[in-house]
Amino acid sequence: MRNVLATRWGIIGVGAVIGILASLLQFWGNPANMGICVACFVRDITGAIGLHRAPVVQYLRPEIIGFVLGSFVAAFAFKEFKPRLGSAPIVRFVLGAFAMIGALIFLGCPWRAVLRLAGGDWNAILGILGLTVGIWIGTKFLSSGYNLGPSHKTYKAAGLVFPIIMAGLLVLMFFNPFVAGEAQSGVLFYSVEGPGSMHAPLVISIAIGLLIGFLAQKSRFCTMGAIRDLILFRQAHLFTGIVGLTVAAFLTNLMLKQFNPGFAGQSVAHTMHFWNFAGMILSGLAFTLAGGCPGRQLFLSGEGDGDAAIFVLGMVVGAAFAHNFGLASSGAGVTSGGIIALIIGFIVCLLIGFSMREGALGGV
Amino acid sequence: MENIVDARGFSCPQPVIMTLNKIKKAKKGDIIILVDTNTAKENVSRASQSKGWEVVEVLPEDNDYRITIRKG
Which tens digit of pLDDT belongs to each residue from B8-54?
999 989 999 999 999 999 989 999 999 999 999 999 999 999 999 99
Asked if A150 lies within 8 A of B10 by C-beta distance, the reply is yes
Alpha helices in B1-72 (DSSP H): 14-26, 38-50
Chain A: residues touching B (Cβ < 8 Å): 3, 6, 78, 80, 82, 84, 87, 142-143, 147, 150-153, 220, 222, 225, 228-229, 232-233, 235, 237, 291-292, 300, 305, 307
* Complex ipTM more than 0.90, yes or no: yes
Digit-coded pLDDT (tens) for A113-172: 999 999 999 999 999 999 999 999 999 999 999 999 999 999 999 999 999 999 999 999
* Pairing verdict, β A188-189 and A184-185: antiparallel
DSSP type of residue A209: H
Asked if A150 lies within 8 A of B20 by C-beta distance, the reply is no
Asked if A84 lies within 8 A of B38 by C-beta distance, the reply is no
Q: At what angle do helices A62-77 and A202-219 cross, to 10 degrees?
A: 40
Spell out the per-residue pLDDT of chain A, length 364, in tens.
578 999 999 999 999 999 999 999 999 999 999 999 999 999 999 999 999 999 999 999 999 999 999 999 999 999 999 999 999 999 999 999 999 999 999 999 999 999 999 999 999 999 999 999 999 999 999 999 999 999 999 999 999 999 999 999 999 999 999 999 999 999 999 999 999 999 999 999 999 999 999 999 999 999 999 999 999 999 999 999 999 999 999 999 999 999 999 999 999 999 999 999 999 999 999 999 999 999 999 999 999 999 999 999 999 999 999 999 999 999 999 999 999 999 999 999 999 999 999 766 554 4
Nearest Cα of chain A lies from the Cα of B13 at a distance, in angstroms, of 7
B47 touching A (Cβ < 8 Å): yes
Measuring CA to CA, which residue among A93, A117, A100, A92 is closest to residue A23? A117
Hey, which bits of chain A come out as E strands? 84-85, 152-153, 184-185, 188-189
How far is residue B57 from each of residues A8, A231, A362, B10, measured CA to CA in Å? 22, 29, 32, 21
Reported pTM:
0.96
- C-alpha span between A209 and A121 (Å, rounded): 24
